[in-house]
Amino acid sequence: MPEKILVVDDDTNICELLRLYLEKEGFDVTIANNGADAVKIFKSNPHSLILLDIMLPVLDGWQVCREIRKTSQVPIIMLTAKGETFDKVLGFELGADDYVVKPFDAKEVIARVKAVLRRSAGESRSEIKEVNYDKLKINLTNYEMIVDGKRVDTPPKELELIYHLASNPNRVFTRDQLLDEVWGFDYYGDSRTVDVHVKRLRAKLEGVSEHWELKTVWSVGYKFATID
């Protein structure tokens, strides 16, 4: 059975272009032209991935993303004309998995869809993934981070990043390595994406324990440092 993709955009030309390319690749495509319809369609008929525009009527893309993340970790790729860092940060903070700025090449979007679906499938097939440290538990199976006994809301990509670092304590990763290993080798973003996610994680983790630290290695990258 083909995987289902929900395309949400108020521009019918973009919707039909994406439908053409996606169906050519064997996907089953549903179209929604406003945010309210997108939420309604997804709740009644879950899809494998959502391509979600930000500037939408009724409910904008941020609101749609928030609503869907209440009940689902379905991969979401944001489609938008906005390319500012703030907009990317907000999208990732709300739980988006990737971000494509218009105008885009439809073939690039298809490549990103396939990459995100591969990562999602790999995670669902794997065994329970969890790491534990003093006052910190990161569970990638349930996408849950417990800090000092309390669950801390953590967007999926932030959680994947801290899990990757904490699973390899004291190993230094360059930004490019983290983009390759957490976002995927065919991710088209830049290294600032890593910096943004680390900054958000630090706000949640800094000072929690004296036994570990999310540390910057200047001119190189980052590591999850354990302290005896």
Task: Cite the beta strand spans of 28-169 per DSSP E.
Answer: 28-32, 49-53, 76-80, 98-101, 130-133, 136-139, 144-147, 150-152
The tens digit of pLDDT for each residue in 158-192 reads: 999 999 999 999 999 999 889 888 887 555 556 78
Q: In this structure, what token pair is assigned to residue 88?
A: 């990317």
How much is the pLDDT for 190? 66
Task: Give the per-residue pLDDT at 189.
Answer: 59
Closest to 51 measured CA to CA, from 73, 89, 80, 72 = 80
Which residues are CB-contacts of 134 (< 8 A; sequence separation ≥ 6)?
209, 210, 211, 212
Average pLDDT per consecutive 10 residues, the chain (228 residues; last block may be shorter)? 90 94 94 96 92 92 89 87 62 76 87 84 64 92 89 89 94 91 66 88 93 93 91
Select from 3.30.70.600, 3.40.190.80, 3.30.1360.120, 3.40.50.2300 the CATH code of 4-125: 3.40.50.2300
Strand segments (E) across 27-181: 28-32, 49-53, 76-80, 98-101, 130-133, 136-139, 144-147, 150-152, 173-174
Pick the CATH number of 130-226 from 3.40.50.720, 2.40.160.10, 1.10.10.10, 3.40.50.200: 1.10.10.10
4-125 and 130-226 agree in CATH topology: no
pLDDT at 32: 96
Per-residue pLDDT at 143: 84
For 177-201, letters b (16+ CB in 10 Å) and e give: bbbeebbbeebbeeeebbebbbebb
Beta-bridge partner residues of 150: 147
**What pLDDT, on the 0 to 100 scale, is given for residue 123?**
58
Q: How far apart are CA 122 and CA 203, in angstroms?
A: 29
Give me the pLDDT at residue 138, please: 95
pLDDT value of position 26: 92
Q: What is the pLDDT of residue 215?
A: 95
Query: Cα 216 to the chain's mean position, in Å?
Result: 22
Burial 34-56 (b: 16+ CB within 10 A, else e): bbebbbebbeeeebbbbbbbbeb
Give the C-alpha distances (Å, rounded to integers) separating 1 from 4, 26, 27, 51: 9, 10, 9, 20
Q: Write down the pLDDT at residue 80.
A: 80
Q: Residue 18 is inside which H or E element, if any?
A: helix 12-24
Domain boundaries, the chain: 4-125, 130-226
User: CA-based angle 183:131:191, to the nearest 5?
Assistant: 25
What would the pLDDT profile of 33-64 be if each residue is shown by its tens digit?
A: 999 999 999 999 889 999 999 889 999 988 99
pLDDT for 88: 61
